[in-house]
Amino acid sequence: MTDFNQTQAFDLDKLGQLRDYFASYHSLPSYSYMQQLLNMRSKDTISKLIARLKLMGFLDVAPDKKLSPGRRFFERPLSNSTVQAGAFSATHHEGGDYITIDEHLVKKPSITELIPVRGDSMKDLGIMDGDTVVVEKRPTANIGDIVVAIIDDKFTIKTLGKENNQFVLIPANKEFETIRPKEQFYIYGVVAGQFRTY
């Protein structure tokens, strides 16, 4: 890995921690607390990190000289891969509060990824071809969770179940059969929400 790639990976890791902090407290930490939060030894290192994140558009400085989220702070990674799945009908809502996608769908920003859905195997749970699912990347899930799993190097989205002490992947469309993996499969993440654009 080159020095540039190492620095970028370091910066994005620290950005993830700042995003998690912001999700909890709706503000960014002070310079001094950031040093403790990010486990960085010197103020000079913190200053250089902030300068790089500002240059990339992730951080900005408010008129009162405090750090604020930049135009890219709330970006989420959009996967190049699609995931096999199903259909959904949008609900209609009038009035109420304004929310951001993060407030509504993203609880843990540093492990959240957006994955486009392709197919209709989950249509009876309202996950439609063309939707985007919000996935918390983690290798474990509970029975009944909707998961993105990897089988034969391909994504699929199903409900995690168990039969005869073996994990199975259950579709939400009677035209599809339950997947009973003969070999090991991997849980890429758990679906935390979804959205659709028109």
Residues annotated catalytic, as ranges: 121, 158
| Segment (H or E) for 157 | strand 154-163
CA angle, 136 then 139 then 144, to 5°:
75
Q: Please, which residues bridge with residue 149 across strands? A: 156, 187
Among candidates 104, 77, 90, which has minimal Cα distance to 188?
Answer: 77
State how beta strands 67-69 and 132-137 pair: unpaired
Copy the structure tokens of residue 165. 């002490």
CA-based R_g, the chain, Å: 20
